[in-house]
Structure 1
Amino acid sequence: MRFATGLFLCCALGATPSTHAAETVNDITQLNPIVVDQVARPTTLEQIVKRVAEHPGPIAIGGGRYSMGGQTATEHALQIDMRGFDRVLGFSREHKEITVQPGITWRALQSFIDPYDLSVSIMQSYANFTVGGALSVNAHGRYVGYGPLVTSVKSIKLVLADGQVVEASPQSNADLFYGAIGGYGGLGVIVEATLRLSDNVRLLRSFEEMPLGDYRSYFLDRIEHNPKVILHNAVLYPDQYQTLRAVSYSQTDLPLTVKERLTPLDQNYWKEQKALKVVSQWPGGKALRQEVIDPLVLKKPQVSWRNHEASLDVRELEPDSRSKRTYVLQEYFVPTDQLESFVQEMGATLRAHRVNVINLSIRHAKADPGTLLAWAKTDVFALVLYYQQSTAEAERAAVREWTRALVDSAIKRGGSYYLPYQIHATPQQFRAAYPRAGEFLALKARVDPHNKFRNKLWDAYGSDNQGK
């Protein structure tokens, strides 16, 4: 990665970005190959402005490509691959703020701030993703007392369809700020973000096993308002989904058991990958995880830096091959008092369709402060579903059926589903889960009147499909 502060100049003005014609763009699942006309790989703001202003459309925006339903491409588009636009532009240890270009990965950002004993305030569990991608999906993680990523963002800069560069924050151009964050590239290209940081502290891992029925009161009484607890999630075990292990990482002064400050980039994950194969493919593999693997892993005492736990590498989840079967995520959000009833219905649906669930994790998120496509309209529990599916067309149709059933289950409880994954929900379900979508599309029509910014998400749910 290339780092620079505001004191350094970018590449020479007028330099031509790397552009390749007629490429196939895919995501980590390998389920969504999309042929685009061109892929541009800019390294300067001027290059992005020029391409956006001059290209008649469509334009799609890509980062790490960890979304799972074509959210970074559409047919015959110019895709702007942001991964080379990855510099640190400004940093203040005193104010605990950093300004970055959006192609930078969270792991590279962590490498920059770790020597100053600072940490990312909010991010997803794995650090391979780009900052811009996380902003576009309004990501969240295991951070107690926080909600979506937008709450840690001070400001952004955005290139609009006409090439205009605008700054947006909760105080200035707030409509663009709350539209672009969580807007999946529909309004423009995020080209800069200023993030608030937190202190890097030592974390002690602890866990408790309990029935699902005890978890909500446990979380609300002992976790939610405990200032020592930094990270928390619960693992809910298939196929009955009635027993869980709640795992917390609390601030401590105990000596470290993990010496590395960040997860090593060259770490070998053969043990994790072997365990993934056992759980997903062996008879009795899920019971083996619940009764043997997890107790052994969690029993070992662990004190690590916050940055170490925040810099996990998604390679630990990567199978040997995705040609015949692949691993996919979904996520659902329900108000906190709806957790048990949703899980009961979710479990029945997953069992009825014989879904090969690898992991079901529960997180908590505070209500969204105002993004137009808010997935957390109230405080919610998030249920992150990781499962295996065949790549055959028949299996994709089956996944669509049970996915729509789960979306309905969340909606009828006042909840929602997450948009970075396979696009199975109907337009009616999308509007029910995201009631301010009409406001977002009206804003898009104003700042992108020719519908230049497109991808498979907006092909499915954009203005042309409203009411269908």
Structure 2
Amino acid sequence: MQQNTLIVNDVTGLNPVAVWAISKPKTVADVADAIRRTDGPLSVGGGHFSMGGQTASPGSLHLDMREMNQVIAFFPQDKVIRVQAGIRWCDIQRFVDPHGLAVKIMQTYANFTVGGALSVNCHGRYMGLGAVVMSVREIRVVLADGSVQDASPSVNAELFYAVIGGYGGVGVIVEAELDLADNTKVKRLARKMSAAEYISHFKAKVRHFQDAVFHNADLYPPHYRKVRSVTWSRTDEATTEPRRLQQGGETYPVNRYFVWAVTETPFGKWRREYLIDPLLYFFRKVHWRNFEAGYDVAELEPASRKYTTYVLQEYFIPVERFDDFVPVMAEILQRYRVNALNVSVRHARPDPGTLLAWARGETFAFVLYYKQRTRDNAINRVSVWTRELIDAAIRVGGSYYLPYQPHATAEQFHAAYPRAKELFALKRKLDPQFRLRNVLWDKYYAPTLNDANT
């Protein structure tokens, strides 16, 4: 265990948090012992890709889960794997690929840990699916008193649906049993159109297309009037990419240059829409599913985050309100001159029951990737237009995603997540001393403790 002045930050570099100590457990027993041997606050982190302090709290014992990275059990005939929570999705891909299997649901980028992905109830570009909870059979959790419990949709279900998507506030996920899928070949089908055409295209060509595996639609900044629909469908055609898996660990100079050029050079966004993307999408592509799901987040990493940094936000909009939200979003981003690289739209089925469900019905996820300055006035400016976007999402019956900068007011948080009070009540029961915490819980939960005690 390390001690002294220790800082836990996330990939943006915007959220340094001074913690008391860092523990790096390797087993369930290590986690339980670390919790029992202390009586102060606890925080939990994996890959630290959340972007708003969701992995740390001031003065806490920080549990860095990345050394809990082993496969515990594997049942290829049943398409099931059980893993420790600190394992990354790319590690699972390497393990199951020789058996013709793939991860069923994960993020687009494969660097994230399973425990972190479950804690934020992540999603990817998968069609006919949605939040990662849909692929989870069982979890093992260490509670704030050091006790260990198993939970699934049918056993200890209240705990299951509180911990998944619960941002480390109810228990520490230490193991997970996951459904797998077949590692099929997929072919890219892409078409550019006006944003006004997209919803009709989606309903006619994508929504019920049984062979669709991945789908997203990229809205082009700065006007957001054009969209490129990209679907990867099952195929028997020969692959155009010889590798079955992406290797990771590269420097990606070309990718990084284009990210810089689009955000920093004159007409960068125009060149991307009218020169770069038409060239990239001109060629036929057939990949293995594991390859297409295995991108390395390092390809987006800038040379420095000292003065500027890249940040994500995400808004969840009912499918039928796509045309209502897009022009409002565009107006806000244009009015504040947000330096957006991309807005990627993905599809999700309704959440099966997590207490902080972001998809309460059939949903489009609008993933906004933008560049901002790191100085305080720039952060404050982002908070203003972020709250406007959150209001716009709520007005159409939508929500916003919680792994990012916590700019939302308490009123917005509860409007977007109406079952949060149920989660808070369960936390008071399972964690009466408020030990499990992070910046998210400190902002939205801690102020309610005074109300509960009066």
TM-score by length of 2: 0.98
For residue 13 of structure 1, what is the aligned residue in structure 2? Answer: none
| Cα separation, 2, equivalents of 1:341 and 1:467 | 39
For residue 170 of structure 1, what is the aligned residue in structure 2? Answer: 153
Residue type matched to 2:278 in 1? Answer: P
Q: CA deviation at 1:98?
A: 0.3
Residue type matched to 1:262 in 2? Answer: L
| Cα separation, 2, equivalents of 1:147 and 1:21 | 42
| Cα separation, 2, equivalents of 1:440 and 1:352 | 36
| Cα separation, 2, equivalents of 1:220 and 1:120 | 26
Q: CA deviation at 1:463?
A: 4.5
Q: Determine if contact 1:19/1:41 at 8 Å carries over to the other structure.
A: no
1:193 maps to 2:171: no
**1:238-280 per-position Cα deviation (integer Å, ceiling 9, x unaligned):** 1111111001111111111101010122444111111001101
Identify if the C-alpha distance between structure 1 residues 467 and 203 changes in structure 2 by more than 3 Å, giving closer, same or farther.
farther
| Cα separation, 2, equivalents of 1:223 and 1:299 | 20
For residue 258 of structure 1, what is the aligned residue in structure 2? Answer: 241
**1:147-198 per-position Cα deviation (integer Å, ceiling 9, x unaligned):** 1000000000100111110000011110110000000000011010000000
For residue 309 of structure 1, what is the aligned residue in structure 2? Answer: 292
| Cα separation, 2, equivalents of 1:181 and 1:338 | 27
1:449 maps to 2:432: yes
Stretch of structure 1 that moved more, 260-269 or 136-145: 260-269
| Cα separation, 2, equivalents of 1:462 and 1:267 | 40
What is the 5 A alignment of 1:11-26? 18-26=1-9
What is the 5 A alignment of 1:351-390? 351-390=334-373
What is the 5 A alignment of 1:29-428? 29-428=12-411
Identify if the C-alpha distance between structure 1 residues 268 and 73 changes in structure 2 by more than 3 Å, giving closer, same or farther.
closer
| Cα separation, 1, equivalents of 2:364 and 2:410 | 24
| SS of corresponding position for 1:258 | coil
Runs of 4+ in 1 over 3 A off after TM superposition: 18-21, 465-468
Q: CA deviation at 1:54?
A: 2.5
**1:379-421 per-position Cα deviation (integer Å, ceiling 9, x unaligned):** 1111000000000100001000000000000011110000000
Number of residue-to-residue matches in the alignment = 451
| SS of corresponding position for 1:231 | strand
Q: Determine if contact 1:86/1:103 at 8 Å carries over to the other structure.
A: yes
| Cα separation, 2, equivalents of 1:453 and 1:315 | 30
What is the 5 A alignment of 1:433-444? 433-444=416-427
Identify if the C-alpha distance between structure 1 residues 384 and 115 changes in structure 2 by more than 3 Å, giving closer, same or farther.
same
| Cα separation, 2, equivalents of 1:150 and 1:235 | 25
| SS of corresponding position for 1:186 | coil
Q: CA deviation at 1:60?
A: 0.3
| Cα separation, 2, equivalents of 1:201 and 1:267 | 25
Q: Determine if contact 1:427/1:465 at 8 Å carries over to the other structure.
A: no
Q: Determine if contact 1:147/1:367 at 8 Å carries over to the other structure.
A: yes
Q: Determine if contact 2:248/2:295 at 8 Å carries over to the other structure.
A: no
Q: CA deviation at 1:301?
A: 1.2
| Cα separation, 2, equivalents of 1:465 and 1:346 | 32
Q: Determine if contact 1:331/1:417 at 8 Å carries over to the other structure.
A: yes
Residue type matched to 1:296 in 2? Answer: L
Q: Determine if contact 2:250/2:298 at 8 Å carries over to the other structure.
A: no
Identify if the C-alpha distance between structure 1 residues 63 and 266 changes in structure 2 by more than 3 Å, giving closer, same or farther.
closer
Stretch of structure 1 that moved more, 49-58 or 383-392: 49-58
| Cα separation, 1, equivalents of 2:249 and 2:15 | 29
Q: Alignment RMSD, CA only?
A: 1.1
**1:55-101 per-position Cα deviation (integer Å, ceiling 9, x unaligned):** 21210000000000000001000000000011100000010000000
Q: Determine if contact 1:36/1:75 at 8 Å carries over to the other structure.
A: yes
Q: CA deviation at 1:432?
A: 0.3
| Cα separation, 1, equivalents of 2:447 and 2:34 | 25
Residue type matched to 1:221 in 2? Answer: A
| SS of corresponding position for 1:299 | coil
| Cα separation, 2, equivalents of 1:57 and 1:248 | 48
**1:208-237 per-position Cα deviation (integer Å, ceiling 9, x unaligned):** 111111111211221111111100001100
Residue type matched to 2:395 in 1? Answer: K
Point out where structure 1 has 5 or more consecutive residues left out of the alignment. 1-17
Identify if the C-alpha distance between structure 1 residues 148 and 57 changes in structure 2 by more than 3 Å, giving closer, same or farther.
same
Q: CA deviation at 1:466?
A: 7.8
TM-score by length of 1: 0.95
